[in-house]
């Protein structure tokens, strides 16, 4: 995967992460009693966060000065 492809993938993941956050907020605000659905969305959101972190760490390596 090229760096450009990784940057595009990173943006897609960030958008999906924000969308899941909005969906979770909407379900909570609506008082939806489907806690299982909310838990699944939160789990998916955490997986996305891990993927975002992996790609971001690769693109922006830690430099010890």
pLDDT digits (tens, 9 = 90+) for 28-57: 988 866 889 999 999 999 999 999 999 999
The pLDDT assigned to 63 comes to 72
CB 41, CB 24: distance < 8 Å: yes
pLDDT digits (tens, 9 = 90+) for 4-19: 999 999 999 999 999 9
pTM summary value:
0.83
Closest CA to 53 of 3, 7, 4, 10: 10
Q: What is the DSSP letter of 32?
A: -
pLDDT at 48: 98
Instruction: Provide the pLDDT for residue 65.
Output: 59
């Amino acid at each position: 995967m090229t760096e450009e492809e990784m940057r595009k993938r990173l943006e897609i993941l960030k958008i999906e992460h924000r969308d899941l956050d909005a969906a979770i907020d909407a379900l909570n605000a609506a008082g939806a009693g489907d806690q299982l659905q909310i838990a699944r969305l939160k789990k998916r959101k955490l997986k996305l966060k891990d993927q975002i972190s992996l790609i971001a760490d690769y693109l922006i390596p830690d430099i010890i000065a």
